[in-house]
A and B are shown apart, each in its own frame.
Chain A
Amino acid sequence: MNFWILLAVNSITFGGLLFLLSAGFSLIFGLMRIPNLTHGSLFMLGAYVGATLIMGILSVQLDFWLAAVLSALVVAAFGALIERLLLRRLPGEPLAQVLVTLGISFMVADFCLMVWGGDPISVATPTHLVGFVRYGVAVFPLYRLAIIGIAAVVAVALWLLLERTRLGAMIRAGVDDPDMARVVGIRVSQIFTIVFGLGAALAGFAGIIGGPILSVYPGLDQDMLPLALVVVILGGTGSLLGSFVGSLIVGFLYNFGQALLPELAYFILFLPMLLVLVLRPQGLFGRQLP
């Protein structure tokens, strides 16, 4: 009984991390039509930067949460720079965008290997969240519950931003019809940078708060990116709800697949993606791209 509950909690936790990662990926793809293959690298970069701040540089050790916010900001700045300096020059050229973002992701991987070396770095769970919560016979790891809570808060905040503010309406107008949005005076270009930076920040933040569970290691980027792709294809691009549901589905498939049929884990993970691509290419909650 406990095994199943724990597996479910782990699935939801992993789904929460995937949501933080893929919400930005989905927004960037939905709004800017950019398949941002650096998204896994942004996750890993956030994890490395955060881990470094926590372990301390120049003998200053930061609190876990402060480090997480700072590394999210660093990754946001890096993402915004990529958008302003490179992707900005390649509008409407998906192949060039794929190649550039893939190239950057290799460069980031090399950079991380050079700076942080090849050994995995484990990130300590914040001290106040070590331990378990008992509920009847079931036992829940506290930190995982915290991640679920954070993902839920971020999901609500993103929803409010997108659905309840003028900026959010402008972002959605840009997704609907970028040319017309510009004609009515929306500075779509600025909004693109904001969205890209926000997506990068969420990815970086997910990287560091995922650290105590996943640790940080070379190849983390390439482990996470395909999962984000599956989430977005399942859920549909540009749809927050799609990312949310897609993340939970992938969280469950991944964890249950690993636990029950480890030799078929990837098969279980990618088969639904294939089915969706064939039967409902816009994803479960996505709109048809024009």
Chain B
Amino acid sequence: MATSALTLEHINAFYSDSHVLQNVSFELGEARMLGLLGRNGAGKSTCMNVSVGLLHPRTGDVAVYGNRVTHLPPEQIAAHGVALVPQGRRIFKSLTVRENLIVAARKSSGNGRHSPWTADTVFTMFPRLSERRNQISAHLSGGEQQMLAIGRALMGNPRVLLMDEPSEGLAPQIVHEVMNTIRKLKESGLSIVLVEQNPTLVFDVADDIVILNSGHVAVVSTPAELTEKKVDLTQHLGVF
């Protein structure tokens, strides 16, 4: 297999007493997109929290390009080139659009790569944010907040981009725009984990699929294989 951008290995994670991730392992290949599926509460967001260091696993390891980052604090994992577009967007509401971007600015963590993302390049990608650059971000629409959350993640010039339900709560037209952006980012060579509840969105763009069910990895496959074998996803994902 090609270089691994992000590896979760035998992760066991707890929220107080509840064992939310049970021996979870998966691997995101460099420049690939991994679709992480599962119902509400299956452990998708917990995987994201573990990957960025917000939740430290009790056992198991997280590695970024072969570097073990398991017990590092979030700001140091960010320095390894991991960025998160979190569920619920979590933009800094009292900051302006531009400030949301500049507080996250970081030079590339890659080895001698250029750092393409600056506030200006983000504004070029999202002209609507550019028009509102000096507005307090709390006043943005849901779709604009999602673009800002993506732009903020890109400002770190990451090697690994984690996106936790970027389509959540958005109108279909906006979801379409966001998915186009994600497609472009993938084409630029970024390694991406896309967390979704809706498999049809993911099957379009992902190279690999991991399905979580009640904290376990239930399926590791590819969209083509799952479609070809007509695997019954409803047992893992419910009705969609």
The secondary-structure label for the interface of chain A is helix
A88 at the interface (CB under 8 A from B): no
CB distance from B83 to the nearest CB of A (A): 7
Q: Do B94 and A175 have beta carbons less than 8 Å apart? A: yes
Least CB distance, B209 to chain A, in whole angstroms: 25
* 11 CB-based A-B contacts, threshold 8 Å: A175-B94, A176-B94, A180-B90, A183-B52, A183-B83, A184-B78, A184-B103, A185-B156, A186-B75, A187-B75, A189-B73
Return chain A residues, CB-CB under 8 Å to B103: 166, 169-170, 173, 181, 184, 186
A183 to B85, CA, bound (A): 10
* CB of B205 closer than 8 Å to a CB of A: no
A177 engages B75 (CB within 8 Å): no
Q: How many angstroms from the CA of A23 to the CA of B37 in the assembled complex? A: 47
Chain B residues near A (Cβ < 8 Å):
52-54, 73-75, 78-79, 83-84, 86, 90, 92-95, 99-100, 102-104, 106, 152-153, 155-156
In the assembled complex, which residues on chain B have CB atoms less than 8 Å from the CB atom of A175?
Answer: 94
* A172 & B92 in contact (Cβ 8 Å cutoff): yes
The verdict on A287 contacting chain B, using a C-beta distance below 8 Å, is yes
Chain A contributes a number of interface residues (CB within 8 A of B) equal to 20
Residues facing B in A60-82 (CB within 8 A) are none
| Alpha-carbon gap, A185 to B153, bound state (A) | 10
**Which residues between 264 and 286 of chain A lie within 8 Å of chain B, taking CB atoms?**
none
A residues with a Cβ closer than 8 A to B are 166, 169-170, 172-173, 175-177, 179-189, 287
Give the A-B contact count at a CB cut-off of 8 A: 67
Question: CB distance B95 to A184 under 8 Å?
Answer: no
In whole angstroms, what is the CA distance A189 to B52 when docked?
A: 17
Candidates A166, A176, A179; contact of B74 at CB < 8 Å: A179
Distance from B6 Cβ to chain A, minimum over Cβ atoms (Å): 15
Chain B min CB distance to A26 (Å):
15
Other A-B pairs, 4, CB within 8 Å; known A173-B95, A182-B74, A183-B78: A169-B95, A169-B102, A172-B99, A189-B75
With contacts A166-B103, A169-B95, A177-B90 taken as known, whether A185 is within 8 angstroms of B54 at the C-beta atoms is: no
Partner of B92, one of A180, A185, A188: A180
- Contact residue among B84, B94, B99, B100 (Cβ-Cβ distance under 8 Å from A183): B84
B102 touches A166 (CB 8 A): yes
Which chain B residues border A172 with CB–CB below 8 Å? 92, 94-95, 99
**Who on chain A is nearest to B86 by CB?**
A180
Given the contacts A166-B102, A176-B94, A184 and B156 also touching, CB distance less than 8 Å: yes
* Minimum Cβ distance to chain B for residue A71 (Å): 33
**B50 to nearest A CB, angstroms?**
12
CB-CB nearest in chain B for A175: B94
What is the bound-complex CA distance between A169 and B48, given in angstroms? Answer: 25
Cβ distance A162 to chain B, nearest Cβ, rounded Å? 10
Q: Which residues of B contact A188 (CB under 8 A)?
A: 75
CB contact between A185 and one of B86, B94, B104 (< 8 Å): that residue = B104
B102 contacts across to A, CB distance below 8 A = 166, 169
Q: Give the chain B neighbours of A180 by CB distance below 8 A.
A: 86, 90, 92
Q: Which residues of B contact A184 (CB under 8 A)?
A: 78, 83, 103-104, 152-153, 155-156
Cα(A240)–Cα(B102), bound, Å: 22
* Distance between A286 CB and nearest chain B CB, rounded to angstroms: 12
**Contacts A169-B102, A177-B90, A180-B86 given: A185-B78 contact, CB under 8 Å?**
yes
Q: What is the minimal beta-carbon distance from A235 to any residue of chain B, in angstroms?
A: 16
Q: Which residues of B contact A166 (CB under 8 A)?
A: 102-103
- Distance between Cα atoms of A169 and B83 in the complex (Å): 19
Residues of A within 8 A of B94 (CB): 172, 175-176, 287
Tell me the complex Cα distance, A172–B90, Å.
Answer: 14
Chain B nearest CB: distance from A241 CB in Å?
A: 12
**Among the interface residues A173, A179, A181, A183, which one has the most CB atoms of the partner chain B within 10 A?**
A183
Q: How far is the CA of A186 from the CA of B83 in the complex (A)?
A: 12
Contact, CB under 8 Å: B92 / A181: yes
Instruction: Considering the complex, give the chain A residue whose CB is closest to the CB of B77.
Output: A183
**CA separation between A183 and B54, bound complex, in Å?**
8
Rounded to whole angstroms, the CA-CA distance of A180 and B164 in the bound complex is 13
For the complex of A and B, 10 pairs with smallest distance between CB atoms: A185-B78, A182-B74, A184-B104, A169-B99, A173-B92, A176-B92, A180-B90, A183-B74, A169-B103, A173-B103
Q: Considering only CB atoms, which chain A residue lies closest to B82 in the complex? A: A183
A179 CA to B78 CA in the complex, in Å? 12
Nearest to B155 among chain A residues (CB) is A184
Expressed in whole angstroms, the Cα–Cα distance for A188 and B53 within the complex equals: 14
Residue numbers in A under 8 Å from B100 (CB-CB): 173
Distance between Cα atoms of A226 and B15 in the complex (Å): 38
A185, B75: Cα distance in complex, Å: 4
**One of A169, A179, A187, A287 near B54 (C-beta < 8 A):** A179
> Which residues of chain B are near A176, meaning CB under 8 Å?
92-95
Residues of B within 8 A of A186 (CB): 75, 103-104
